[in-house]
Amino acid sequence: MKRTTDGAAAPGTTGTVVYRVARPEDGEAVAGIDTSFTTDSVFEVTGGDGGFRVVETRVEPPVHKVFPADDADGGEDAEGGPGPGRTVVALDGDEVCGFVTASFAPWNRRLTIRDIAVAPAWRGRGVGRTLMRHAVGFAKECGAAHVWLEVSNVNAPAVHAYLRAGFVLCGLDTSLYEGTESAGEVALFMSRRVD
Residue 182 sits at φ, ψ, to 5 deg, of: -100, 15
For 26-61, how does the pLDDT look when each residue is reduced to its tens digit (9 = 90+)? 999 999 999 999 999 999 999 888 899 999 999 999
**Is the model's pLDDT at 104 over the cut of 50?**
yes
Spatial separation of the C-alpha atoms in residues 95 and 154, rounded to whole Å? 28
Res 67: pLDDT: 87
User: How far is 57 from 126, CA to CA, in rounded Å?
Assistant: 26
Task: Write the CATH number for 186.
Answer: 3.40.630.30
pLDDT at 168 over 90: yes
Q: What does pLDDT average to over the chain?
A: 89
57-66: pLDDT as tens digits: 999 999 999 9
Indicate the number of domains in the chain.
1
Quick one: pLDDT at residue 88?
98
Q: At what angle do helices 156-164 and 127-142 cross, to 10 degrees?
A: 60
pLDDT attached to residue 86: 97
Longest dimension (CA), the chain: 60
Supply the range of the domain harboring residue 133: 2-193
Checking if the pLDDT of 144 tops 50, the result is yes
Cα separation, 91 vs 17, in Å, equals: 5
